[in-house]
Chain A
Amino acid sequence: MPRLSAWLTRTALAYLAAGFTFGSLLLLHKGVSIAGALWRLLPLHVESVLIGWTLQLALGVAYWILPRHLRGAPRGAEHPAWAAYVLLNLGVLLVLAGAWLGAANLTLAGRVCELVAVTIFGALAWPRVKTWGH
């Protein structure tokens, strides 16, 4: 797989581990009541598994397996794709920080980063969604 897909996939796997850890702590607390403050992990759990894990893995695999261009760079311009990777993860970290600190401005900044990242990925992937040989 291309280097960017490897980074996206490994980062996604790290968020899988983090997301399952947050979720398991929440479930453990539901079962045997440890500390009410653990409920603060809920938005971190949701963000980690939905964006950090699932979305990021999907983008990594799509970048890898979608049909390649017959001319020029096989997967399109690489710099914007790397920028999207950085922005996506900056966005996730900002949302996590915003949720933990209760800072709505951080959450907003994070969501903007995620939106820009996905828009860049979408623009790069769009022309690769095609019939073989075209």
Chain B
Amino acid sequence: MPTLTRWFIKTALAYLALALLLGLGQALRPLGLTPDWLGAFGPVYFHLFMVGWMTQLIFGVAHWMFPKASPEHPRGDERVMWLVYGLLNVGLALRAVSEPFVAAHFAFGWLLATAALLQWLAGLGAAWSLWGRVKVK
């Protein structure tokens, strides 16, 4: 398994744990066992799961298992997918940190805008990189 795939999968597993912990925290709110401000983390919970876990796992496995780009460079220009890894995770982390504050006070809006840009670039980068690996045999 390529090094980058290991990073994708292990980071995805960490996000899965984080998402489920957040989900548990939200489920305990009605019982008064966790603070009310956790309610602002609804979209964060969903995106930690869908982007941090699921999409990241797909990127990692696709990078590993998709048909080889060429005999010399089986996974194409790997720097692109490393960049995707960085952009996706920095973007998602920025979102997780700033979105609840934006929802509550409309502060940190520029952080959320940066998170949007980084994740957008990650999505386009992954689509572009993996596109070249889709081959008919």
A pairs with B: yes
List residues of A whose CB falls within 8 A of some B CB.
1-3, 6, 9-10, 13-14, 16-17, 19-21, 23-28, 30-33, 49, 54, 57
Minimum CB–CB distance from B16 to chain A (whole Å) comes to 15
Cβ-neighbour of A13 out of B111, B113, B134 (below 8 A): B134
List the one stretch of B28-36, B70-78, B115-123 in contact with chain A.
B115-123
Instruction: Indicate if the CB atoms of B116 and A24 lie closer than 8 Å.
Output: yes
Instruction: Indicate if the CB atoms of A31 and B102 lie closer than 8 Å.
Output: yes
B135 at the A/B interface (Cβ < 8 Å)? Answer: yes
List the one stretch of B2-10, B19-27, B124-132 in contact with chain A.
B124-132
When A30-B102, A32-B113, A54-B54 are in contact, do A6 and B134 touch as well, CB less than 8 Å? yes
Name the residue of chain B whose CB is nearest to the CB of A13: B127
For this complex, into which size category does the number of interface residues on chain B fall?
20 to 34
Contacting residues of chain B (67-121) with chain A, CB-CB under 8 angstroms: 67, 95, 98-99, 102, 108-117, 119-120
A54 to B109 CA separation, bound complex (whole angstroms): 29
Q: Does more than half of chain B's interface fall in helix, strand or loop, or is it mixed?
A: helix
A16 to B124 CA separation, bound complex (whole angstroms): 8
Cβ-neighbour of A27 out of B108, B110, B119, B137 (below 8 A): B119
Name the residue of chain B whose CB is nearest to the CB of A65: B65
CB-CB under 8 A from A25, the residues of chain B are: 116
